[in-house]
Amino acid sequence: MSKSNHVRGVIELFCKVLLENKVSHLRAETLRQAKFNNELAIEPLWELLHDIICYCDGKSPNGKECRVTFNKTAAAVERVKSQLQKWGYLNPGLSQLPVDMSYGSRQLLLAVGWVVHSQKLFDQVISKRTNPLYQHLLTFIETRSKTPELEKSPPESHRSTVSSKEELQKQLVLCGKLQLSLRRLFAVQQEMAKITRSVHMYTKGVNLQPELDHLTTLEVYLLRHPGAMKHMLEELEQDNEQLKHLLDWKDKEHIFWQWLDSVLDLSIQEGDPQQTLLSLEEEELVYLPVPSTIGRDIDAARTELREAILKHEEDIERMEQIVFRKSQKVSQVEREVTTMLMDRDLVQLSSRLASCGIGPTLSAGASTLLAEESQQEQSAEEEAAPLSSSRFKFQLQSERSIKAGKLNILTNAVNKKTEALRERVEDLEETLRQMQLQNLEQLQQLVNQNTDVICILPRHFKGLLNT
């Protein structure tokens, strides 16, 4: 089979899936005509975009309930453009198309491909499908009977001859009939609920669906009516066929997108003289709702931003002066606070080590010596600094960075002391382990020499001997 036949079959499958799932009715020839900018494909593609919008949103672009038919008016075309722009399709080639639907079928075809991909149309189709066995009994009976709709009575003529009193009486009669019908409907629903409960209660323990422990009303109805069973089998076969078409589409979907790539390449190569002329003469049309006060809002926001910058400029200069003064001198209070924090950390660490019997207990003023050593190291580093740095009078730093530098110096001193203590703890642990091994070996020798003694070592000690 040639490549053109493959593409033709995939396009026909695309239209068939849309028709079977009640998305839209479209001929495969319409898509092939749209590739070459045929005017016959313009109205069907506008209608296809409208139907896809209705299917994805459940509502029409203007927020009302979706209509089945596309009324082919300028307002309907603008609603479709507005919804596509809300979804993110901002191609000026589509927004500049005329509302009289005189040309632009290729642009519409590209828009259809974008909508199908971005809105994941076929994933929504699959998620909205239901099993015919799970449908309601009344829905199954209604689809089986397929009773024709009642013909609407023609509108009454000569309404002007009816008086207002007679019209009011007629409306009152209709309201009474409506109330009576609602009561009957409510009574029927109550009766249906009772029957459903009885069916579930008397069929408990017998189930055809794994998530239920009883039969449904539809399953009981099918068991009692063989003709209905035959109709259900037809519905299941039809559902299986539609699912097979969806699986075929998933397997051959890439062919459709390759064909749309060729449509895009053709559009770029040939171009559209009418579209180029419009792009030179007119600006891009925007169908999204734009507030009428947007100009004033932008000016007000710009003025507010300017005032905020001027207001905080003085605060920034003041903060720079404070940081400069702080960088020149460290107050005595900051020194004392830092020393107290260091004392607390060292006392806590030494108390933990002393509780384990390791190392001496440090007093509360143990950090003074460390602080003096750190200051000596800092002064030595400052003396060893290159002379070229002396030409800078000061280095602008924030208060947080100054505190972080001081804390870093003290932290390094604590880390050195902690590392020394950790090494001592490891040495003591290793010595203790060696002593345990020697004692265990001596104990094992005594046990082996004396055969009258039975010694059962704990599991932990056995592990030590094995190692």
Residues 33 and 138 in one domain: no
pLDDT for position 455:
65
Position with higher pLDDT, 255 vs 154: 255
Other beta carbons within 10 Å of 434: 10
State how far the Cα of 67 lies from the Cα of 64, in Å rounded to an integer. Answer: 9
31-54 tens-digit pLDDT: 999 899 888 999 999 999 999 998
**How is residue 116 written in tokens?**
């199908």
When mean pLDDT is compared across 93-102, 215-224, 312-321, 348-357, the lowest value belongs to: 348-357
Rounded to whole angstroms, the maximal C-alpha distance in the chain is 132
Q: What is the pLDDT averaged over residues 357-386?
A: 53
107-116, 352-361, 375-384, 421-430 — most confident range: 107-116
58 and 187 part of one domain: no
Is 309 a domain residue? no
- Beta bridge mates, 65: 59
What is the separation of C-alpha 69 from the centre of its chain, rounded to a whole number of angstroms? 33
Residue 196 lies in a domain: yes
Q: Give the separation between CA 182 and CA 176, rounded to whole angstroms.
A: 10
Q: Is residue 297 included in any domain, yes or no? A: no
Average pLDDT value for residue range 279-295: 60
- The pair of structure tokens assigned to 262 is 């060729």
Residue 112 sits in the same domain as residue 247: yes
Here the tokens at position 204 are 């408990």
Q: Where is mean pLDDT largest: 97-101, 347-351, 447-451?
A: 97-101
Percent of the chain scored above 90 by pLDDT? Answer: 15
Q: What does the alpha-carbon distance between residue 270 and residue 94 come to, in Å, rounded to a whole number?
A: 17
Which has more confidence, 89 or 369? Answer: 89
Number of folded domains in the chain?
A: 3
Q: How far is CA 253 from CA 13, 103, 117, in A?
A: 10, 28, 11
Domain check: are 9 and 70 in the same one? yes
- Tell me: do 92 and 218 sit in the same domain: no
Query: Is residue 250 situated within a structural domain?
Result: yes
The pLDDT confidence band at residue 285, using thresholds 50, 70 and 90, is: low
Domain that holds residue 462: 330-384+393-466
Confidence of residue 412 (pLDDT cuts 50, 70, 90): confident
Q: Is residue 380 part of a domain?
A: yes
Same domain, 31 and 121: yes
Q: What is the pLDDT of residues 11-25, one digit of tens each?
A: 999 999 999 988 888
Q: What is the mean pLDDT of residues 239-258?
A: 91
Is 248 a residue whose pLDDT tops 90?
A: yes
Instruction: Give this prediction's pTM.
Output: 0.52
Model pLDDT, residue 386: 46
Q: What type of residue is 110?
A: L
pLDDT for 391: 38
Average pLDDT over residues 460-464: 60
Q: Is position 189 within any domain?
A: yes
Most confident of the ranges 201-205, 345-349, 381-385: 201-205
Please, what sign has the CA dihedral across residues 392, 397, 401, 402? positive
The first and second tokens of residue 49, run together, are: 């975009």
Same domain, 209 and 255: no
Same domain as 247, residue 266:
yes
Kindly tell me if the per-residue pLDDT of 2 is higher than 90: no
How many angstroms separate the CA atoms of 377 and 387, rounded?
18
Cα separation, 275 vs 270, in Å, equals 12
Identify whether the C-beta of residue 266 lies closer than 8 Å to the C-beta of residue 37. Answer: no
pLDDT at 329 over 70: no
214/336 same-domain check: no
Residues 51 and 106 grouped into a single domain: yes
Tell me how far apart the alpha carbons of residues 198 and 215 are, in angstroms, rounded to a whole number.
11
The pLDDT of 170-195, averaged and rounded, is: 91
Residue 244, token pair as written in the block? 């097979």
Average pLDDT of the segment spanning 217-223: 82
- Angle made by CA atoms 149, 150, 152, in degrees to the nearest 5: 120
Q: Please tell me whether residues 120 and 16 are part of one structural domain.
A: yes
Q: For residues 465 and 76, give the distance between their C-alpha atoms in angstroms, rounded to a whole number.
A: 89
Q: Of the ranges 289-298, 321-330, 397-406, 429-438, which is most confident?
A: 429-438
Q: Is residue 300 situated within a structural domain?
A: no
Torsions phi, psi for 65 (to 5 deg): -65, 145
Q: Is residue 185 part of a domain?
A: yes
CA 49-139-220 angle, 5° bins: 145
- Give the C-alpha separation, 109 to 92, whole Å: 14
User: Do 353 and 258 belong together in one domain?
Assistant: no
Hey, CA dihedral for 52, 58, 59, 65, is it positive or negative?
A: positive
